[in-house]
Structure 1
Amino acid sequence: MKHENVKLGIPDQEGQLRIMFSKGGPRAGAGRKGFGVTKKISLTLSQELWETLEQRSTSLNCSRSETVRDIIEAFFLHDSGDKDVQPNAD
């Protein structure tokens, strides 16, 4: 590695001194842009439903998260004109 390709830098965010390379590496604003808020949930389904979800994800060539998101969005788009969604009173 040539020495002119390496420099020391102070990150934009508070932190420690780091070695920075003149090409590549982390940059402010780089990477895939988010489109929503991420919240982790735990979901319990029957084995048959998990298998159906996996098959659907595979057939659509997308992740489980994308498949579940599409299902939820479709439900609310379809249901939004019928009635307001009320919390379960159980």
Structure 2
Amino acid sequence: MSNHEIKIGVSNKDGQLGFISARGGLRKGAGRRNIGVTKKVSLTLTEEIWDKVEKQCQEQQLSRSEVIRNIINSYYS
């Protein structure tokens, strides 16, 4: 592992801290695109259903959030 300096700066968005690299750094429009409003929930399902969700995650190489989001979107679409 090389010994590089890490710089931290304030982004233009809500005063959040971020890492600054020698190439680019913090800039408006950088990063993941917003797909909606984030709300944290706790979800209780049977072990059998969680196993099916995990299997789908592995098969489709998606996160749990993506799989559950797809299920909810298909229900309401």
Task: Tell whether the structures are fold-level matches, with TM greater than 0.5.
Answer: yes
Is residue 2:71 matched to residue 1:71? yes
Aligned mates of 1:39, 1:76 — CA distance in 2: 18
Stretches (4+) displaced over 6 A: none
Distance in 2 of aligned mates of 1:10 and 1:41: 29
CA–CA separation in structure 1 for the residues paired with 2:29 and 2:58: 32
* Distance apart, 1:13 and its partner CA: 6.1
Q: 2:48, 2:67 → 1: CA distance?
A: 16
Aligned residues: 65
Counterparts in 2 of 1:23 and 1:39: CA distance versus 1, 3 Å: same
Distance in 2 separating the partners of 1:67 and 1:52? 11
Asked if the contact 2:57/2:64 (under 8 Å) is kept, the reply is yes
1:37 aligns with 37
Letter of the 2:24 counterpart: G
Percent identity reads: 43
**Structure 2: 5+ residue runs without aligned partners?**
1-8
Q: Which structure exhibits the higher relative contact order, with contacts defined as CA atoms closer than 8 Å and separated by 6 or more residues?
A: 2
Decide which structure has the larger Cα Rg and report it: 1
Partner of 1:47: 47
Q: Secondary structure at the match of 1:34?
A: coil
- Cα distance in 2 for partners of 1:14, 1:34 equals 15
CA displacement at 1:22 relative to structure 2: 5.1
What is the alpha-carbon root mean square deviation over aligned residues?
2.5
Query: What TM-score do the two structures reach when normalised by structure 2?
Result: 0.67
